[in-house]
Structure 1
Amino acid sequence: MKRSEHFRGIVIKRLKQAITNWLNHEHPRSELPPVNFSQLLADIRPGDVVLVEGRTRISEVIRVITQSRWTHSALFIGAPATYYGTPLYEQLMRYWSGSPQAPLVLEGLLGQGTVLNPLEQYAGDNLRICRPKGITKDDTQRVIQYAVDALGTEYDFRQLLDLARFLLPWALVPRRWRSTLFEVHAGKHTKTVCSTLIASAFSAVRFPILPHIFKANDGSIRLKARNPKLYTPADFDYSPYFEVLKFPPLPMTQVGLYSELPWEDGVVLDPDNTTPRTDEREKSEDST
């Protein structure tokens, strides 16, 4: 019996690893970067939320579930060296073996869990920065500390499936499977996903993302916090409490500069953004 259970455990482990590898397969980046990464690197601040248009198969799943191009979120921590001499520095360096000068993001990744990675790894990807408006320096540090305390936790793929069941009109998994979205656990979670952890960190300092706003019986305006497990990366983009920063590859730094952009006349792209269509081809197709 023990031998069969051991064999079953090995099979399940290998199957999970195979599925994880398949879901983490990345499509190649576009030839031209969609954002000005050097400008982003110069402007980003610790506590900013980085939204990523992912290129993996798991990103395609999340894109279908959330109906948004933003399939991943990460919290910008900054360079560990900026925290030198503090307990946070020691904590970061236990999970980061690279240079303490490297600007880092904290993120939850399938197959890796909650980890630190260099922001540089996203150079060439489509990115957007969401900056919490008016947050204090002390609360920014508390948000970062909350997230850093979660380093090493596993990625909760089950939560992703449950979120799909909650958001989509059709079920990806059988309804008889018990949802984990509304479970309440004592203490800290042992598993999480990227947007849930970040939402929990901001909720810990009572910074709003997309709260439920209502009028109390006395006529005052009150807020109710949302379940952090229901947040998706796009919610930081939708939130009126976060400033959205974009870094176009061709910056519009002067009035009227758009008129000097190098447009290709007489050519448009098909919906897949890859097939050129000339004016002559459009006229021919319209006449048929």
Structure 2
Amino acid sequence: MGEKTVETSFKAPVVLLGLGAMGTALARAWLAAGHPLTVWNRTAARAEPLAAEGAAVAATVAEAVAAGRLVVVCLLDDDSVEQALDGVELAGKDLVNLVTSTPGRARARAAWAEARGARYLDGGIMAVPPMIGAPAAGAYVFYSGSGELFEEYREVLAVPAGARYVGADAGYAALHDVALLSGMYGMFAGIAHAFALVRGEAVRPGDLAPLLGSWLTAMAGSVERTAEQLESGDYMGGVVSNLAMQVAGKETLLRTAEEQGVSVELLTPYFRLMEHRLALGSGAEDLTGVVDLLRR
């Protein structure tokens, strides 16, 4: 009888700097998947639970970085990255920066890393900590920068959350991240205004919520139409309610807010842009032209 062989799957080691709520969630996901993990945190006590779960704890950033080639950074902000890695040898390292930043700062950080001999990926996390390591939650991370680095570590990066590469320009992960978050806050503004209108009335927020949620979901289809119009340059394709009609209709929204004693400060900036676009003679268009007014 021949010898029985056991196939083992190599798990790439990961070095993780930063153990806040997000960093800790990332750490646990990699540990659960069997990746050797070395961690560092400025407050050492945060690392103790992870040490009990199998992580190696480094006393210094330099010690942590020396422990492996793939170094993932999840610190507070870009200044924290600069401070933590100041004077640390990065030559030959693969640096993945998951700190929320701007496109410009991400590009500068990429140049900074490359000047020190490291390959660089910038990341934008589209998730909150409880979503990390839970595939059904739909979490993902935008990555941009070194395509070779991303392809080499694609499977490792996809362990905590889906990995989406958006280009060699290191600023593109941050750009996509902020674009989506900006859309989210605009939606939150509308939600806040909607609930403010019914406060003090015999309308339960819990009764309004499913109606509002389903309406917003239905209206989300306009995102695709807006993209198509921007790409084609034809802002009148597929128009259902043109700009002139919507500018006229806004008066009902404003009067209702006045009757209900609700500020219109969340709505008026957008309405002003609509009026400006209408004044340019674009009444038959969709609302897409507002995008062009925002470009400075």
Larger radius of gyration: 2
TM-score w.r.t. the length of structure 2 is 0.25
More strand by share: 1
The answer to which structure, 1 or 2, has the higher relative contact order (CA under 8 A, 6+ apart) is: 1
